[in-house]
Structure formats: structure tokens, C-alpha cells
Chain A
Amino acid sequence: QVRLQESGPGLVKPSETLSLTCSVSGDSITNSDFYWGWIRQSPGKGLEWIASIYYSGTTNYNPSLKSRVTISVDTSKNQFFLKESSVTAADTAIYYCTRGHYGGKTYYPPGEWGQGILVTVSS
């Protein structure tokens, strides 16, 4: 059974870069049946997709965040990452890493989620 675990700093200063890691166990991040993604949840904005990546390297970004966000993978460590630059208080949220099925050119909604990590943006 796949397990996803987020890690990273819980506190980031405004204007700095938020960096998160998702460690995957129980499946290979190169499994062509799945894609990997980040979703965040905040009281103000609710649930919001951030970005996703497929094992081939294909990435997809939320248009409203695209200029500040990068998603990447390290297949040797079976991990994927999120970097979000120039953060503000509006980026304060619980960040989840997820796995979803990919098939027939469709990115199906994620069936597996990490427990989430609270990231607070504050000086």
C-alpha cells in the first residue's frame, strides 16, 4: 500500500521560498499508471490544486500560481518536491502531497493523500 509523507519547514518568512518534500513508499514514483501532485487547503481559499508531475517529467501548474511554483522529482530517492517562491500570508495552508491515476490522457482525482503539513508564512 502506497504511503506519502510530507516534510519541510512549518514556518516560512514572507518573500522567501517555501520548499516541501514528499517521500513515497510502497510504490515507485516512476510507475506509469500514476501521477504525483500537491494540493493545499486554507480557511480562506479552501482546497486548491497547486501542481502535478508525471513520471515522464510532464508538469501541470495552477495558472494562478504558475509563475511562483516548481514541481520536480528525484527518482533515485523516490521523492517529489514543491518550491513556491515569494510567499505571502495568503500562502499559509496545509499542504498535501497526493497520488492519482493517469490513463487515457486523463489525470484522475487523487485517491491517495499524505497526512498534510501546516506551513505558516509569518515574520
Chain B
Amino acid sequence: EVVMTQSPATLSVSPGERATLSCRASQSVNSKLAWYQQKPGQAPRLVIYDASTRVTGLPARFTGSGSGTEFTLTISSLQSEDFAVYYCQQYNDWRTFGQGTTVEIK
């Protein structure tokens, strides 16, 4: 099983600042990496797939990068609606999720 490890577990950021989230795979997943955003009481929402492709309508402040085993989600200027839990998921070898990074207001 491909193990996905996210860091940090919690990220405290002030509105308007940049947030950088990391996701590491235990083996190469090529570029088959997705990011989801989840808010309390809601289902996860797909935001990035193929490591760097934004879903339709996603603001340009969200940027995904990386390939192989190291991936990053950057939110350039945090807005109030961006505070949430973010999960990465690989779909190169079956499908496994990371444990999540909570982006909270500093």
C-alpha cells in the first residue's frame, strides 16, 4: 500500500498570508496526486488533480506542484473561506489518502 504522509498536521496562518502544505508518498505516484478541502460537517471537495490541475472555478491562489514522491499545495493569500482541513490522495496504485493538514486562523 502506498502510504501518504502530510505535514504539518496543523498550520496556523493569518488571513492574507501564504500557506504551504506538504504531502509525501512512500513510493512514486508519478503525477497522480489530488488535493481535497474539507470544512466541518461537509464532504471533502476536490480542488486539485494530476498534481497541479485546478478544478473548474477554483481561485488561482491555489497552486499544486510536485511529482514522484513529493508534492506541495500552496495557497498564496489565505481568505477566510480557505481555513479548512486539506487531504492529499494518490491514485497511481489503488487510492490512498494522507491524514490531513488543518489550516487554522492564527
**B residues 40-70 with Cβ under 8 Å of A?**
43-46, 49, 55
CB–CB B91/A46 < 8 A: no
Q: How far is the CA of A108 from the CA of B95 in the complex (A)?
A: 10
Q: How far is the CA of A107 from the CA of B97 in the complex (A)?
A: 15
Cβ 8 A contact of B44, one of A63, A107, A108, A113: A113
Residue-wise interface mask of A (84-123) relative to B, using a CB-CB cutoff of 8 A (1 in contact, 0 not): 0000000000001000000000111111011110000000
Interface SS, B side: loop
Kindly count the residue-residue contacts between A and B in the assembled complex, taking CB atoms under 8 Å apart.
Answer: 45
CB–CB B89/A106 < 8 A: no
Cβ 8 A contact of A47, one of B32, B44, B45, B91: B44
| 3 tightest A-B CB contacts, nearest first | A109-B34, A113-B43, A47-B97
CB–CB B1/A63 < 8 A: yes
| A64 partner residues in chain B, CB cutoff 8 A | 1
How far does the Cβ of B29 sit from chain A's closest Cβ, in whole Å? 12
CB–CB B97/A46 < 8 A: yes
Number of B interface residues in the complex (CB < 8 A):
20
Band of interface residues on A: 10 to 19
Give me the interface of A with B, judged by CB distance under 8 Å.
46-49, 60, 62-64, 96, 106-111, 113-116
| B94 partner residues in chain A, CB cutoff 8 A | 49, 60, 62-63
| A111 partner residues in chain B, CB cutoff 8 A | 46, 55
Cβ 8 A contact of A114, one of B43, B55, B91, B99: B43
Q: Besides A49-B95, A49-B97, A106-B91, 15 other CB < 8 A contacts?
A: A46-B97, A46-B99, A47-B44, A47-B89, A47-B100, A64-B1, A107-B95, A108-B91, A109-B36, A109-B49, A109-B89, A109-B91, A109-B95, A113-B45, A114-B43
